[in-house]
Structure 1
Amino acid sequence: MTYDAAGRPVRDVAPLQQTIRCFGAAVLLLSLFLPVPACPAAAQDAENPPPDSAAPLVLGVVNIHYPPFFVFRGDRVSGLCIERLDRALALLGLRAEYRPLPWNRILDLARSGEIDGVAGLLWNQERQEFLEYVNVPLAKQYDRLFTRKGQNPFWDGTLESLAGVPISTVLGYSYGQEFDSASFLDKHPSINDARMVRMVLEGRYPLGIGPASVVRSHARTLNMEDRLVFLDPPVAENPLFLALSRKAGRSALLPALFRALRRVSDPDSGLDSGLDSGRDSTELPATP
């Protein structure tokens, strides 16, 4: 025991200080090995995709000039559907790898899960069996009947008025659930849009069907645009969607893709590209 100048005993605090220092060092060391609770502000943002989404989405796109939805310049594909989808993916820190392929090949690969999904396709019941749709349109197409100048097939706006009339279509394409399921229609599938347009403008079939800009683009390429006549009204307004393969294992991305596409479709977000501005997008000037 030690005493101060007044003769009072003074407690030796050195051992206590040493104990406190040792305890503090132990707490600090232990904290390095304990999990730190996630801060709500640092939690995953509602718009961000799950952590297994780092790989690019491999998406099939139709391998033909299909303006304004898909536009090819060499090996590079652009167009309205690609523009909107790329902007939505950028919000999520993702990107897409686009694979231009024949349409039926795209559907086969999506069915087996060899590609992650399909960009720019119509909804129908059969496709829903192997695809999960992101229910925000990438664009809208207006399928219209067309014919060769000088022919006057009767069309009153109802599919029933077309019963028995040969109609040139494209193999594997959907033209909306009503048209697809109309068994009374006489449909003649061609292998692609260019051949479908040629079949009509050369007089092989009295009618064809497709988006006006696509049909006009192929007629121009074939030097047959002067023979082309469209019939009113359009057969159907059909939205084009992004859909993911049920077997590809990317379904966890669906909620995030839905939110991102809603955002780029919202005029108030400042990100809208004007795809659904009320005009018929198939009447936009075709890109050569």
Structure 2
Amino acid sequence: MRNILLLLMILLFSNSSLSSPIKTIKLAYSDIESFPFQMGNGTSVATPPGLSIDVIEQAASQLNIKIEYVRLPGKRVLHHIRANDVDGGFIFSYNQERAQYADYPLKDQQADSSLRIATLDYFLYKLKQQPVDWDGTRLQTVNQLLVGAHRGFSIVKILQANKIDTLEIETTAKLFEMLRKHRIAAVAIQSNIATSFIEENQLTDIERIEPPISTKDYYLIFSHRFTQQNPELVEQIWQTIGEVRDQVIESNTKKYLAQEKVVN
């Protein structure tokens, strides 16, 4: 009986160890909403939190890791990474200045796109029968109609820098409604948002225009100290993000479009 009890205790301890997170990692991200990748404003993690957190959480679950999130103003996120006050942060595009104090997933001395959290690419979408001429910089439309874009999104500044008159609109639904009513010439929007909305609403009269307005990959980055102390774990996290990213984003985008309708 004593041996049986001892065996049961060993099995119980073993199962408990397997179910408990092997490590807690502290990650920082901006306290400003960036729909749909980082939701909500302020220091609390929103519900739902955003696609970037969804991707990280899926990877963490598979690796049996717990994530502690800290929301800070954007520049302070980078300052905390540089000072090793947090283990890492997201979502950041690659640049050489940041690479001096933070680690990116690399391949051939370049950021490895396959291990990104997300690609933020913006395209123009138009009605199939409506002529719009776009060469990547200059835009020509009939009747000099405006281009619609989400209010407050970074694409607005890019359009304005190219001297493209822009109308800022709150929701995806309203953007495509105005397009279909011929009140704007095109919609400038993230492709993942547009694709999900068009498929969900079976909008067969809308097409995407090439080339993209802008496209950039964004990553989870780690402090040098954390990478030096946990090199294998860091590689596992990046690799798992690369494996789960597309499925998570595809399955969860509709949830955020529904959230957008409620909020706005």
Of 179, 182, 196, which aligns to 1:217?
196
Are 2:210 and 1:273 equivalent residues in the alignment? no
- Unmatched segments (≥5 aa) in structure 2: 1-22, 40-45, 81-87, 106-115, 256-264
Q: Within 5 Å, which residues of 2 pair with 1:250-265?
A: 254-255=223-224, 256=226, 263-265=236-238
Q: CA, structure 1 residues 196+90, in 2 after alignment: closer, same or farther (shift >3 Å)?
A: same
Q: TM-score, normalised by structure 2?
A: 0.51
Partner of 1:226: helix, strand, or coil?
Answer: coil
Report deviation, 1:175: 3.5
**Aligned pairs, number:** 199
Q: CA, structure 1 residues 194+203, in 2 after alignment: closer, same or farther (shift >3 Å)?
A: same
Aligned partners of 1:92 and 1:257: how far apart in 2?
18
Identity of aligned residues (%): 13
Which amino acid is 2:218 matched to? Answer: L
CA offsets 1:68-111 (integer angstroms, 9 cap, x no match): x689xx94456466324663698795514599xxxxxx9xx657
Is contact 2:124-2:187 (8 Å) kept? yes
Aligned partners of 1:139 and 1:87: how far apart in 2?
14
Q: CA, structure 1 residues 138+282, in 2 after alignment: closer, same or farther (shift >3 Å)?
A: closer
CA offsets 1:9-33 (integer angstroms, 9 cap, x no match): xxxxxxxxxxxxxxxxxxxxxxxxx
Match for residue 131 of structure 2?
152
Match for residue 174 of structure 1?
154
Q: Within 5 Å, which residues of 2 pair with 1:88-237?
A: 94-97=66-69, 110=74, 119-120=90-91, 135=104, 137-156=116-135, 158-162=136-140, 166-175=146-155, 179=158, 182-219=161-198, 223=201, 225-237=203-215
Which amino acid is 1:138 matched to? Answer: I
Aligned partners of 2:189 and 2:55: how far apart in 1?
22
CA offsets 1:222-259 (integer angstroms, 9 cap, x no match): x461332211232332223458xxxxxxxxx6333796
Aligned partners of 1:207 and 1:257: how far apart in 2?
44
Report deviation, 1:261: 5.8
Is contact 1:142-1:236 (8 Å) kept? yes
Q: CA, structure 1 residues 261+197, in 2 after alignment: closer, same or farther (shift >3 Å)?
A: farther
Q: TM-score, normalised by structure 1?
A: 0.47
Are 2:56 and 1:87 equivalent residues in the alignment? no
Is contact 1:60-1:118 (8 Å) kept? no
Report deviation, 1:168: 0.9
Is contact 2:149-2:156 (8 Å) kept? no
Q: CA, structure 1 residues 54+284, in 2 after alignment: closer, same or farther (shift >3 Å)?
A: closer
Aligned partners of 1:204 and 1:85: how far apart in 2?
41
Aligned partners of 2:252 and 2:241: how far apart in 1?
22
Q: CA, structure 1 residues 118+169, in 2 after alignment: closer, same or farther (shift >3 Å)?
A: farther
Match for residue 5 of structure 2?
none
Report deviation, 1:152: 1.4
Aligned partners of 2:165 and 2:217: how far apart in 1?
24
CA RMSD of aligned residues (A): 5.1
Report deviation, 1:203: 2.0
Is contact 1:165-1:185 (8 Å) kept? no
Is contact 1:147-1:206 (8 Å) kept? yes
Q: Within 5 Å, which residues of 2 pair with 1:30-49?
A: none
- Unmatched segments (≥5 aa) in structure 1: 1-48, 100-105, 244-252
Report deviation, 1:214: 0.9
Of 240, 257, 260, which aligns to 2:218?
240
Match for residue 3 of structure 2?
none
Q: CA, structure 1 residues 180+261, in 2 after alignment: closer, same or farther (shift >3 Å)?
A: farther
Partner of 1:213: helix, strand, or coil?
Answer: helix
Q: CA, structure 1 residues 78+183, in 2 after alignment: closer, same or farther (shift >3 Å)?
A: closer
Partner of 1:146: helix, strand, or coil?
Answer: strand
